[in-house]
Amino acid sequence: MVDKLITKYSSLLESDSFIPTKARRASLTPLESLIGIILSQNSTDRNAWRALENLINYYGGRATAEKINNTDLRVLESLIKPAGLYRSKARAIKNLVSVLSEEELISLDVKELKEKLASVRGVGPKTIDVFLASIRGVPTFPIDTHIRRILYRLGVIDKKTEKYENIRSAVMSQIPPNKLLTTHYVLIIHGRSICRARNPRCPECPVEDLCEKRGISSRQIAPSPKTPNLKYCDGLR
């Protein structure tokens, strides 16, 4: 299944505006990249990127822990306002730079880094996994709302409320480590474009023949003008 989705969306993996991808292209530091990931929580990548640019430009081209520590909270909130939830996100960013140094984001071993990041209020398991996978190159699998919805509909998980770690473990047991991050991205693209929360475009789905369509009624499925004819591979399930 995964290879079918990778085949369909491979051309979008670099062009789609994922924050870690844009951060890498812009040569941002690990701290700036992590801040961007925090800003993307419950926000569009476009708005999160605008907020991150505001922050970096305010600091003269480089956002550092020292500069953020010395910035008034209200100023920080105004800079990141485009990302939404700016008050809680500003506090999370402040908490982050008070707990971890920029050097530690790269030098700490994965276990210790996860523990320290988990102690930062406002930084959850998905944010940690996105940072570890995209910036540190750790084989892990971040779970977001799109991915949770798709895996439930496919029958990979049994309930929408399945615990984060259970989902992550289930996927990681079936996907090769070198495909985990790509799978994360293509599932998000698939959830945004076809397997949408409302009116999923099932007739256009490249894995419709593998999908149990849990929680979807025929009345909810959006009509499609055509069903794409694509070359597929093997994959999950």
Do 152 and 129 lie in a common domain? Answer: no
Tell me the CATH number at 167.
Answer: 1.10.1670.10
Domain boundary among 116, 134, 152: 134
CB within 8 Å of 225: residues ≥ 6 apart: none
Of 134, 160, 183, the position where a domain reaches its end is 134
Mean pLDDT, rounded, for 8-26 = 86
∠ CA(219), CA(225), CA(231), 5° rounding?
105
**Sequence-distant (≥ 6) Cβ neighbours of residue 217 within 8 angstroms:** none
Q: What pTM did the predictor assign?
A: 0.90
Do 29 and 67 share a domain, yes or no?
A: yes
Tell me the percentage of the chain whose pLDDT exceeds 70.
93
In tens, the pLDDT along 155-210 reads: 999 998 999 999 999 999 999 999 999 999 999 999 999 999 999 999 999 999 99
Domain interval for residue 155: 2-12+141-210
Decide if 165 contacts 156 (C-beta within 8 A): no
**pLDDT at residue 227 tops 50:** no
pLDDT in tens, 113-159: 999 999 999 999 999 999 999 999 999 999 999 999 999 999 999 99
Buried b (16+ CB within 10 A) or exposed e, 12-32: eeeebebbbbbbeeeebbbbb
Q: Give yes or no for residue 231 having a pLDDT over 50.
A: no
Reading the block at residue 148, the tokens are 């949770």
Clarify whether residues 57 and 117 are in a common domain: yes
Q: Mean pLDDT, to the nearest integer, of 71-86? A: 98
Mean pLDDT of the region 19-32: 95
Structural domain count of the chain: 2
Does residue 233 lie in a domain region? no
The per-residue pLDDT for 100 is 96
Average pLDDT over residues 90-95: 98
For residue 16, give every residue at least 6 positions away whose Cβ sits within 8 Å of its Cβ, in sequence order, or none. 185, 189
**Environment class of 34 (CB within 10 Å of its CB; exposed 0-12, middle 13-18, buried 19+):** buried
The CATH number of whichever domain residue 76 belongs to comes to 1.10.340.30
Angle 55-61-66 from CA coordinates, rounded to 5°: 70
Q: Which of 134, 162, 196 is the last residue of a domain?
A: 134
pLDDT the model gives residue 236 = 52
Query: pLDDT at position 1, please?
Result: 82
